Structure 1
Amino acid sequence: MEQAGQDRTDPDAGWSLPAWTYADAEFFGVEVDRIFRPSWQIVAHESDLAASGDFQRLDYIGESVLIIRGDDGVVRGFTNVCRHRGARIVDEASGCAKKLVCPYHGWTYETDGRLTGVPMKASYGAGFDLADHGLVPVEVESWQGFLFVRLEDDGGPSVAQMMAPYAQDIAPYRFADLRALGRVTVRPRAVNWKNIGDNYSDGLHIAVAHPGLKRLMGDGYGVEASPHADKMWGAILDRPSANLSERAYQHFLPPVPHLPPDRQRLWTYFKLWPNFAFDIYPDQVDFMQWLPVSPTQTLIREISYALPDDRRDMKAARYLNWRINRQVNAEDTELVGRVQAGMASASFTVGPLSEQEVALRHFCGRVRDLIPEARQHHAPGMGWSKLA
């Protein structure tokens, strides 16, 4: 396994975050404010909003956000909240609307967020100005065709800056030309969001808990960390797997004309701060996002994208990819459940981290920097966040 970016200056660098931070309600509230409100969240791909009025909705940390393509072709983001009484405007996860009309009192907004219709407008008084009550905007970034939102700007980097160290890795995959293979799926998990992210960039468990990946990649799985993203990768071996689906994937995966030789059989994963990732295969690209619901509840949101390719071999490879990774996901679900359950024991506080666990070390260090109380092995007294 390869590693990079280790921080030897943090005295806690060799230790995991304490167990209490994976279940504590007060700590979770601080995470929402310090980690999630200023962070970028992936919503959709530009191609999912092809026409004027096309929209996608993302709900997380108590907020509901809409991104919508305006009549001028620009994608904008807004909170999904009417400015009259705070009612949610849109219920659908995606769709198309020429105007956004609140179902409570009929206030009407344009696709650029302007308020243009208010029943009984005169009754609000002479000083009431429609221009003062448009939808509240949120920041939107388009990077390589994918669309992201951010609730608060704390001066942190753009997605493009976060991924700058890996620009050459991404370039051959033609992200901007991707199209959805299916629909977004959302799966609940009774674990803390950090457990899902920790597991995603943990390379040590591959050989132990994922026999399929071990058969496909042997000892060739690598992990490294950069300031805002982790990279994991493994090349698919030429040696046929003993598993039927894996062996068939090895057989059917066709040459991909736009990829260089070293990427024809390479699986690469990028985990971006704090809670989403891209799984990049020769045959498709998936994004995966783990959205916190409570200290011990998380929603996994994911969808696959690919370049148009009608070859029978490619269709077979994509189906087999799904079969292989469905098994990997089932294995991971069992693993993170084990960890969440074990962390409830009073016998466990923190665990030592191998120098090979470079991504986990980096993540824990960043959380400790933002929330110094995470250095304490036991939960502080109630109300600590008000004093911090």
Structure 2
Amino acid sequence: MNVSADIRALVQRRKAGHSLEAPFYLSDEIFALDMEAIFRQHWIQVAVEPDVPEPGDYVTVELGQDSILIVRDDDMQVRAYHNVCRHRGARLCNEDKGTVGNIVCPYHSWTYKLSGELMFAEHMGEKFDRCKHSLKSVHIENLAGLIFICLAKEPPDFAPMRAAMEPYLLPHDLPNTKVAAQVDIIEQGNWKLTMENNRECYHCVANHPELTISLYEYGFGYQRSPANAEGMEAFEQTCRTRAEEWEAMKLPSAEIERLLETTGFRTQRLPLDRSGESQTLDAKVASKKLLGRFEQADLGGLSFWTQPNSWHHFMSDHIVTFSVIPLSAGKTLVRTKWLVHKDAREGVDYDVKNLTAVWNATNDQDRALVEYSQRGAGSSGYEPGPYSPFTEGLVEKFSAWYVRRLAEQIGA
């Protein structure tokens, strides 16, 4: 791939253990490289299976110049296609979501089955071969209800992440949930700042009073000192005790950390504070109808991070998913979905305001932090600063993963 000498030099001189140089957050040229090297070559989490519960249900996802159509077919399989008619390239589905019987182009009415085959194209003559004009498929993987797509001709191997994560995710039975709420926010910041902010909780105590109600202070990295040694030991003992209980219930909890692999991911189940059941303002369940076959509410919080664009929190009563989509060098979409059991009744089993309160507040606080960082990166006084080895190790692994992918793409 042709890139400028300046970009090549930036990639080559990246200093481990430090934040990235300013152009990584500001440059339109690097943003274009990000879209090609990252978002066109890797597995991107874009949806959940309950987004398309019935045949004909669809959602559209915009990745740079590409619009992707995700639809459930008549055999209940979730499929992904380029949202482009094979006639003259018109956009097929122009809403964020909807329901169709067949996929019909609004321009000349070329009509496709949900399985992608062209079934009707008027006035094309006897020699026209419909079989050569099916919709162009996009690689898709369904990981226990989380939908990933990849635009590459040859996508990275998904099997290792599936093998590791299915035992953790399947007990929460995401396919038998429903989307109780979705909130899209636009952050005026680079997508990497959004991801870096997510990968650490150094900032949590000072900035997230709602979130830290249910999170142990020591749960995401801390420097041990005489002042906190007793508290850290108590937390570690709680983790060991609860892990034994969960393992006996066939709920895996041990940390898996493979963030530097091509299809990078990490997971861990941790206890919630205050005898916590869920990530709510009182640490109690937000939905009375528990997920899957759960009969016990205090099952901790299972966190799942993927490179490059998602994180998720699985609890006994609900699931929160986050998908990050770059819009420009300085603008990022953060899409949050809250899922509850498909039979849970709004106003009876759960209240949407209570369900969403913690992460609506946290997302808004994080948006402000990302925007502070974006503005700071544009200052002549900015230079890469050192990561904390105790609380920002996952930020370093995200940055190292990212720079390695760019280097592979440009041959640096």
> Under TM normalisation by the shorter chain, which class is it?
0.7 to 0.9
Between the aligned partners of 2:81 and 2:142, the Cα distance in structure 1 is 15
Report the alpha carbon displacement of residue 253 of structure 1 after superposing the two structures with TM. Answer: 7.6
Question: Residues 277-300 of structure 1, C-alpha deviation per residue, up to 9 Å, x if partnerless?
Answer: 212233210211111011011111
For the structure 1 residues 360 and 260, does the alpha-carbon distance in structure 2 shift closer, same or farther, using more than 3 Å as the test?
A: farther
Equivalent residue in structure 2 for 1:236, among 272, 296, 302: 272
Q: CA distance change for structure 1 residues 306 and 339 in 2, over 3 Å: closer, same or farther? A: same
2:258 is the counterpart of 1:226: yes
SS at match of 1:288: strand
Counterpart of 2:389 in structure 1: which amino acid? Answer: E
Corresponding residue of 1:204? 202
Match in the other structure for 1:371: 406
Give 1:38's aligned residue: 41
Q: 1:232 to 1:118 in 2, by over 3 A?
A: same
The aligned counterpart of 1:246 is: 281
Q: Which moved more, 1:141-150 or 1:209-218?
A: 209-218
- Residue 130 of structure 2 is aligned to residue 95 of structure 1: no
Alpha-carbon distance in structure 2 between the residues aligned to 1:312 and 1:92: 29
Q: For the residues of structure 1 that align with 2:23 and 2:14, how far apart are their CA atoms?
A: 20
| Structure 2 match to 1:189 | 187
1:70 Cα deviation after fit: 2.3
Q: Is the 8 A contact 1:188 1:299 kept in 2?
A: yes
What is the alpha-carbon root mean square deviation over aligned residues? Answer: 3.1
Distance 1:146 1:91, change over 3 A: same
Deviation at 1:346, TM superposition (A): 1.7
Deviates more, 1:307-316 or 1:350-359: 307-316
Deviation by residue 1:340-377 (Cα, 9 ceiling, x = unmatched): 11000122131111212121111111111122399xxx
How far apart in 1 are the matches of 2:54 and 2:212?
Answer: 43
Q: Is the 8 A contact 1:256 1:264 kept in 2?
A: no
CA distance in 1, matches of 2:365, 2:321: 19
Give the Cα separation in 1 of the matches to 2:269 and 2:25.
27
- The one of 49, 61, 72 equivalent to 2:64 is 61
Aligned to 1:24: 27
Q: Provide the residue aligned with 2:311 in structure 1.
A: 277
- 1:251, distance to aligned residue in structure 2 (A): 8.5
Identity %: 26
Deviation, structure 1 residue 90: 0.8
Alpha-carbon contact 1:18-1:350 (below 8 Å) kept? yes
- With over 3 angstroms needed to count, the CA separation of the structure-2 counterparts of 1:260 and 1:83, relative to structure 1, is same
Question: What's the counterpart of residue 359 of structure 2?
Answer: 325
- Confirm or deny: 8 A CA contact 1:165 1:226 kept in the other structure: no
Q: Residues of 1 paired with 2:305 and 2:122: CA distance?
A: 47
Q: In structure 2, list runs of 5 or more residues that go unmatched.
A: 1-12, 222-254
Instruction: State which drifts further: 304-313 or 250-259.
Output: 250-259
1:86 to 89, 92, 114: 89
Give the Cα separation in 1 of the matches to 2:346 and 2:100: 35
Alignment of 1:256-275 (within 5 A): 258-259=293-294, 264=298, 266-275=300-309
Cross-structure match for 1:4? none
* 1:199, distance to aligned residue in structure 2 (A): 0.7
Q: Please name the residue that 2:179 is paired with.
A: 180
Correspondent of 2:123 among 120, 136, 139: 120
Tell me the residue number matched to 1:288: 322
**Cα distance, 1:313–1:229 mapped onto 2, change above 3 Å:** farther
| Mapping 1:157-172, distance limit 5 Å | 157-158=157-158, 161-162=160-161, 164-172=163-171
Provide the aligned length of Structure 1 versus Structure 2. Answer: 356
Q: What's 1:377 paired with?
A: none
Distance in 2, Cα, partners of 1:20 & 1:323: 35
Distance 1:197 1:338 in 2: 14
**Alpha-carbon contact 2:200-2:220 (below 8 Å) kept:** no
In structure 2, give the amino acid aligned to 1:181. Answer: A
Residue pair 1:290, 1:299 contacting (<8 A) in 2 also: yes
Residue pair 2:85, 2:91 contacting (<8 A) in 1 also: yes
Are the equivalent residues in 1 in contact too, given 2:286–2:317 (CA < 8 A)? no
Query: What whole-Å deviation, never above 9, does each CA across 1:253-282 have from its counterpart, x for those lacking one?
Result: 869584587x71623432211111212233
2:4 aligned residue:
none
Shift of 1:128: 3.0
- Pick closer, same or farther for the CA change 1:38–1:54 going to 2, 3 Å: same
For residues 133 and 285 of structure 2, what CA distance do their matches in structure 1 show?
59
Q: Distance in 2 between matches of 1:92 and 1:146?
A: 21
